[in-house]
Amino acid sequence: MKRRDFLKSATALAAGAMVPAPAIWSAAKADARSESLLVVSESGPNNLDIHGIGTNVPGYEVSWNCYDRLITHEMKEGPGGVPYYDKDKFRGELAEDMVVGDMSATFKLKKNATFQDGTPVTAKDVKWSLDRSVSVGGFPTFQMSAGSLTKPEQFVVVDDHTVRVDFLRKDKLTIPDLAVIVPCVVNSELVKKNATEKDPWGLEYTKQNTAGSGAYRVVKWTAGTEVIMERNDKWVGGPLPKIKRVIWRMVPQAGNRRALLERGDADISYELPNQDFAEMKRDGKINVVSLPISNGIQYLGMNVTQPPFNNPKVREAVAYAVPYQKIIDAVMFGLANPMFGAAADKATEVKWPQPTKYNTDIAKAKALMAEAGYAGGFDTTLSFDLGFAGVNEPMCILIQESLAQIGIRCTINKIPGANWRTELNKKVLPLYVNIFSGWLDYPEYFFYWCYRSGNSIFNTMNYNSPDMDKLIEGARVAAAAGDMPTYDTDVKGFVDLAFKDIPRVPLYQPYLNVAMQKNISGFAYWFHRRLDYRTMVKG
């Protein structure tokens, strides 16, 4: 699709958003409207288990609402008065008490906690679940390692209702890492009954079935079409939710999702085009929440092990060719924080995200291509996640158009959302757009995931730098020791190095945009950027 065709189609989409959309509320009309929530989105989960292979981002939403963890975050008031998770304060979810010692933390479980089949939650379930998270491999195991949680021996059953987590080392990220989505507690006996010799952790069973103690359980899932969740009335992880039933429908056309909202048939939608969010904000008929995604960056990644992107001058040329402001204006409609164009004489700060000093400069980009030996350009592919096509496709069209001016001829490669994480983690895509948001809102955490050498699954660029690794590790050690001067130096050092080597080009810090009916309250912002049904109320 050429840019002019995209702009025409965007205009047509906005105009067509008001035409009648498919009626999809009929199944919910039988319920009390105040106790049911209809959510519409572009894509849905490919797996109900956060521990599953290649579980996509929508799958996080299921896990968050259907499983409990030992602890969770306290809330505070965020921008615009929206409840926002407090990254440094925690409370019990399955745990009624937490005692953090010098080299361990002990958790007392709530004795009335049960799984959704009525089975009591015990310390053995917690240990089995934590053992599972550090053993299944892939994203879950890497996530746990970010908090120095790597060995089953670290998780000790003290008695039926007490678990101890031993620390391998002092790490500021250990306790926060126990509050993310991955260390969820699974009904171990139920899952073990459905495990096999080839699948000892029962991943095939939990891919299709929820087996938690959380506030909701999945009663129906049709992949790519619909997820229906019902409230667990015996949930003890927090106040009993007001919403009894969640119907989550996949509606691929953004115009239909907007129309369903505007005529009152749907309660909540996200993944709409930013133009729609901007227009609905102006109209004022629908509430639109827009918050910067914590520790989040939309970026253009390059595989630095493959020619021509193994050439630093080519990567720098790409950084100067990106049409940054066009993307902010024509794709994001201003709903993003720019991550480009910092003042040339401005020092790097001890923070993340922060903008680079790159700006669009086609002449400089062409000169760098010539210096790299690619004056005639080259052919490549530019890949994106089709599950988030509303942003990714127009962005890739603009990037394709701009890179063509310096001789980089891109074929756009649209990868279905269900396959995106798997294809990305193969680390063979030469050029791609993606978003990463660090669940733990600390610079060293983001860089641990995205720039560290070795097997970090979000280092999709195959970037390998001993100097970078040393700075990241230095910041982690300094943070744990409270050595802030060293910490500040190391953070500035790894940010500077990332901008110098430029294996990925930061584009912007995106906003989380959620549109909802005016009678919906209780929306809360979480690090995972997904909906938490547990606090929502429908008036």
**CATH number, domain with residue 439:** 3.10.105.10
Judge whether 291 and 79 are in contact, CB under 8 Å.
Answer: yes
**CB distance 175 to 90 below 8 Å:** yes
Confidence tier at 17 by pLDDT (50, 70, 90): very low
Query: Mean pLDDT of all residues in the chain?
Result: 92
Type of residue numbered 228: I
Please write the tens of the pLDDT for every residue from 350-378.
999 999 999 999 999 999 999 999 999 99
pLDDT at 167 over 80: yes
Task: Give a yes or no: residue 11 inside a domain.
Answer: no
Whether 326 and 436 map to the same domain: the answer is yes
Query: In this structure, are 355 and 437 located in the same domain?
Result: yes
Are both 399 and 531 inside the same structural domain? no
Q: What is the pLDDT of residues 288-297, one digit of tens each?
A: 999 999 999 9
* Domain encompassing residue 392: 296-511
Peptide bond into 308 cis (omega under 30): yes
Q: Does the structure show a pLDDT above 60 at 26?
A: no
pTM of the model: 0.84
| Range 314-340 average pLDDT | 97
- pLDDT > 50? residue 13: no
Token code pair at residue 343 = 């003042």
Please tell me whether residues 464 and 399 are part of one structural domain: yes
Which residue, of 188, 223, 240, is where some domain finishes? 188
CA 271 to the chain's CA centroid = 13
The answer to whether the CB of 486 falls within 8 A of the CB of 474 is: yes
Residues 51 and 199 in one domain: yes
How do strand 83-92 and strand 36-41 relate by DSSP bridges? unpaired
Domains of the chain: total: 3
pLDDT surpassing 70 at residue 7: no
| SS3 label, residue 247 | strand
Give SS3 for 115: coil
Within this chain, do residues 399 and 304 fall inside the same structural domain, yes or no? yes
pLDDT tens digits, one per residue of 378-428: 999 999 999 888 899 999 999 999 999 999 999 999 999 889 988 998 999
Non-local (6+) Cβ contacts of 57 within 8 A are: 387, 529, 530
* 363 and 281 together in one domain: no
Please tell me what DSSP assigns to residue 358: -
Q: Is residue 368 part of a domain?
A: yes
Share of the chain above pLDDT 90, in %: 86
In a domain, 5, yes or no: no
Q: Pull the structure tokens for residue 96.
A: 């009624």
Q: How confident is the model at residue 32 (pLDDT cuts 50, 70, 90)?
A: low
Residue 497 and residue 355 share a domain: yes
Domain co-membership, 452 together with 315: yes
In this structure, is residue 16 part of a structural domain?
Answer: no
* CATH number assigned to the domain comprising residue 28: 3.40.190.10
End-to-end CA distance of the chain: 43
The CATH number of residue 98's host domain is 3.90.76.10
Report cis status (omega within 30 of 0) of the bond before 252. Answer: no
Instruction: Give, for 106, the enclosing helix (H) or strand (E).
Output: strand 104-109
Same domain, 421 and 499: yes
Same domain, 286 and 317: no
